[in-house]
Amino acid sequence: MIIIVMGVSGSGKTTVGELLADRMGCGFSDADDFHPTANVEKMRAGIPLTDDDRRPWLLALRQAIEGWQTAGESRVIACSALKAAYRDQLSPHDDAVFVFLKGSAETIAARLNARKGHYMNPDLLASQFATLEEPAGAIVVDISPPPAVIVDDIMARLGTLGLDTEKRRK
């Protein structure tokens, strides 16, 4: 099973994704690690990425997803996946579950301003919200509760969907 925890920068994708992967007993990947250096430098400089910038990044992620699927591995991926077109590239066969971490611009801006050591420039938050196309059919989770409570909610919803979330170590 591939689960993509999505949302704007600062919504908690990595924190929630790591906790969810641990609870499920599967691997975790952060989509940020798949960005080419040029993309990272643009974001660090406060320059929004274009669809052309994102294309090789999305392709690399999809290739990784197919590799995990071929190997029979479940994986939780933290990925912004802001547009429907990006989600279609990541899951062209509807073979991934999207979990949308939803929060207000004010809450997320406060998180970004408190965050240290991340290349994402907080000035890009407005462009991320402008780009965001809220997903249809995703599990939508409010980011206000503590991360462990958010993961409990996600696990319950995955179970309601009939998805097997038993621990799996691969």
How far is residue 40's CA from residue 169's CA, in Å, rounded to a whole number?
31
Residue 168 confidence (pLDDT)? 44
> pLDDT tens digits, residue range 90-124?
999 999 999 999 998 888 887 776 666 554 555 66
Question: Which tokens go with 164?
Answer: 């097997």
Residue in this structure with the two tokens 């994708």, named with its chain if needed: 13
Among candidate residues 82, 89, 76, the one with its CA nearest the CA of residue 135? 82
Q: What is the CATH number of domain 2-159?
A: 3.40.50.300
Share of the chain above pLDDT 90, in %: 63
> pLDDT tens digits, residue range 120-154?
555 667 788 888 999 999 999 999 999 999 999 99
The long-range contacts involving 134-138, CB below 8 angstroms and separated by at least 24 positions, are 134/100, 134/102, 135/6, 135/81, 135/84, 135/87, 135/98, 135/100, 136/84, 137/98, 138/6, 138/97, 138/98, 138/99, 138/100
How far is residue 4's CA from residue 88's CA, in Å, rounded to a whole number?
12
Among candidate residues 111, 60, 58, 62, the one with its CA nearest the CA of residue 80? 58
pTM: 0.87
Coil vs helix vs strand at 98: strand
How far is residue 146's CA from residue 157's CA, in Å, rounded to a whole number?
17
Residue ranges of domains in the chain: 2-159
